[in-house]
A and B are shown apart, each in its own frame.
Chain A
């Protein structure tokens, strides 16, 4: 293991790591454009130049291996001068687009230029014009003028998505990034090139001009798009409600988790946040006898639901109640459902898996066929009964009252069974086919509006955190269930998800490992 000295601090690093990584371990940030930890080294931007003792010239720290006894300086005058010159070079044909550029505010050109910049321009020639605002795929817009040719995007398409859509064309100062002939950037991971592009050359179509990045707040979360459980940040804006038509969630970005998704996420997850602000059930609903659903208030709906559950329990016992939980719910919520319905009421059969849901697209990288984030969690909690059997019992009248969470039962078979069921309670976030046949509707919160944990397909327990308040009148599922339980006379006193997590997992959220924990076969 080589040991070297960087800016006077010594550090020992793994054999084979480069100087830039060594500096990173000392929390020294070396400016870089082309280097990305998830991609091969290109060494083309020359922004990461450092001075190494006994070397005649400055060296690029992303490519040079850390060796024993090296004395590196990342902040010497010579290095700063080199950075300044490199920036001047990169900006020779760069447009002054910052006012209309979506990257502005999170642009590495801006950031480094503020540190070391050649503030007085020496450039007298005319800038070379290139193509602007070219849609190169369903999610990505390319601006060739802003590109600094770091080739991160092409390396991503070659190495990670392995679809080879992008390349560098022409030579010298006429070089441009462009699509390979007859291709469009439509691979299932295309959104990642937007994140890794250090400048505003690749921008997101969905996010374009919706909001300035400095208005956004972020919260750490877990993607609910499939059972991989990619780590994400939710970028949201709640203070300026006139932006983006009042949409609160503006974009999702992947967050590093070396065990799950590394730096990436898929497009389906990235752009699958629409349901958080769209088509939501905003207030509790009750169906008048044989009539339409009508907006009601929480007190009334919970009263009706609890009375219904109580009388069924008294007259028919727990067999009269059917519960279909959802793999979209968090472990905490599922635990609470188990506690109330199975442990307190004695309901034997609680199912989660929708038998009509087909496996979706799956590949060997991130995307999983199971589009639910917490199927494994539900399984581990023992909520495994056959949903079809429960629905059949409801249709035949054995089950009098059916409590469905979140599921959209749109198949004709399920619709028919639901139509014959006695009393259906729906608790969930969005309008769907199940809501249409329900008698009482309790609006719940989406994953962005609550705290909790999901267990991904390989049994990794990961935490997500609340970014937004539940929309309009909706409430977190834990709050709804706790209130309901108290109305039914069960001593449920949880205030938040963490309290349930402590009871279930035995630790606080703070104590959960940063990158999640494997279940290791413990059943709880």
Chain B
């Protein structure tokens, strides 16, 4: 996209500065006193409908997630509990960060044929684009766990393996 430059001269009022500063202070003060008032009112159980403040008290207070939000990956299971994934490597191929590592193996059931012997996602590289979910022909990988906290003290800890990915379940989005 091209950048469009808008030439604009400051007016006299803007150039003397002091009036503009007072305008800004008025805005800040209005928020301060409003919040002060609303929070005190909340203490007395009043005016519950009004939201005070602008900060979420994370982690005690959490923002509601949109149901479409892409959160931590999980692998889904068949009815018998085995992974749905057939190691087709579509997700591995499409992944722009090259952070999925799959090794396929021969499944004893010829109707299934192929299964993942190894399935690792390196979340240190993942950009949460969700392409893997789009590419999967088996609905085997999803990003609907509702988890976004997965920090680790080491880089290796960010590599999640097959068992870890299978152990997660979906969290229905809060409304």
Interface on A for B, CB 8 Å cutoff?
97-100, 104, 131-134, 208-210, 212, 214, 240, 242-243
Contact = CB atoms under 8 A, between A and B. Distances in A.
Contacts of A100: 86-88, 112-114
B138 A99 contact: yes
B105 interface: yes
B106 A243 contact: no
Contacts of B93: 212, 214
- Most-contacted residue by chain A among B90, B103, B105 (CB, 10 A): B103
Contacts of B112: 100
Contacts of A132: 110-111, 113
A210 B137 CA distance: 20
B118 interface: yes
Nearest to B85: A99
B104 interface: yes
A338 B110 CA distance: 56
Contacts of A99: 86, 88, 90, 114, 137-138
B86 A212 contact: no
Interface string B98-123: 00010111100011111000100000
Contacts of A214: 93
Given A99-B88, A214-B93, A209 B114 contact: yes
Contacts of B106: 133, 208-209
B133 interface: no
A242 B111 contact: no
Given A104-B88, A212-B93, 10 more contacts: A100-B113, A131-B110, A132-B110, A133-B110, A208-B106, A210-B104, A212-B89, A214-B93, A242-B101, A242-B103
Interface of B: 86-90, 93, 101, 103-106, 110-114, 118, 137-138
Contacts of B111: 132
A55 B138 CA distance: 47
Contacts of B114: 99-100, 209
A416 B105 CA distance: 46
B124 to A, nearest CB: 16
Q: Among the interface residues B87, B104, B111, which one has the most CB atoms of the partner chain A within 10 A?
A: B104
A97 B86 CA distance: 10
Which residue, of A99, A131, A210, has the highest number of chain B Cβ atoms within 10 A? A99
Nearest to B111: A132
Nearest to B89: A212
A220 to B, nearest CB: 26
B104 A209 contact: yes
A104 B101 CA distance: 19
B87 A209 contact: yes
Contacts of B137: 98-99
Q: Give the most central of A97, A133, A240, A242: most B CB within 10 Å.
A: A133
Contacts of A209: 87, 104-106, 114
Contact of B103 (A98, A104, A134, A243): A243
A134 B113 CA distance: 11
A145 B139 CA distance: 23
- Of B88, B105, B137, most A-chain CB atoms within 10 Å: B88
A97 B107 CA distance: 14
18 contacts: A99-B88, A100-B87, A100-B88, A131-B110, A132-B111, A132-B113, A133-B106, A133-B113, A134-B110, A208-B106, A209-B105, A210-B104, A212-B93, A214-B93, A240-B101, A242-B101, A242-B118, A243-B103
A131 B104 CA distance: 22
A94 to B, nearest CB: 15
A242 B99 CA distance: 12
Nearest to A100: B114
A395 B114 CA distance: 56
Contacts of A97: 113
B51 to A, nearest CB: 48
A240 B104 CA distance: 13
Contacts of B86: 99-100
A201 to B, nearest CB: 13
A67 to B, nearest CB: 47
A212 to B, nearest CB: 5
Nearest to A245: B103
A-B CB proximity, top 8 nearest: A99-B88, A133-B110, A209-B104, A100-B114, A132-B110, A100-B113, A100-B86, A212-B89
A208 B86 CA distance: 14
Nearest to B120: A242
A37 B144 CA distance: 52
Contacts of A104: 88
A134 B105 CA distance: 16
A131 B87 CA distance: 21
A133 B114 CA distance: 10
A97 B110 CA distance: 12
A240 to B, nearest CB: 8
Nearest to A97: B113
Nearest to B87: A209
A134 B106 CA distance: 12
Nearest to A132: B110
A309 B105 CA distance: 52
A104 B89 CA distance: 11
Nearest to B88: A99
B116 to A, nearest CB: 10
Contacts of A243: 103
